[in-house]
Structure 1
Amino acid sequence: MSAIIKLKFFFEKHGFHVSTRLADALGMRASSVRIFFIYISFVTAGLGFGVYLTLAFWIRLKDLIRAKRTSVFDL
């Protein structure tokens, strides 16, 4: 067996076991816990991107409001 397949089996065995134990402790199905983690990962990635876009828009708006004038005659 190649090293990649062994690594895949290792992570599947130990990674899914974490969600299974958490689901048993909470009295839920393991698939619901796994789907929850998938949704949370998308939300956190999207939240960071949304904050980035908001800050970029805010900085751009600030630069448009405060025009840089080099001379008195640029009014």
Structure 2
Amino acid sequence: MQKIREFLELNAFGVCAKIGEKLGIASSRIRLWFIYISFLTLGSPVILYMILAFWINIKNYILAGKRNPLRNW
């Protein structure tokens, strides 16, 4: 069980950790609430999670001084 948890924490997008940093809440508590809400709403928060993951990825990409992927459009 510990290996699965470590794999998910290292390979996930870090959305819950980023929200936890901003709000000062433990990321494990945010993950738990995300799971609860996903079950209650039949998985619709997954869409929000993917949007936030995309946003964080683009933000980190731009702030790191790398080439802007949006300029190719």
TM range (shorter): 0.3 to 0.5
Higher helix share: 1
- Higher RCO, Cα 8 Å, sep 6+: 2
* Higher radius of gyration, 1 or 2: 1
Q: TM-score, normalised by structure 2?
A: 0.41
Structure 1 length normalisation: TM-score? 0.40
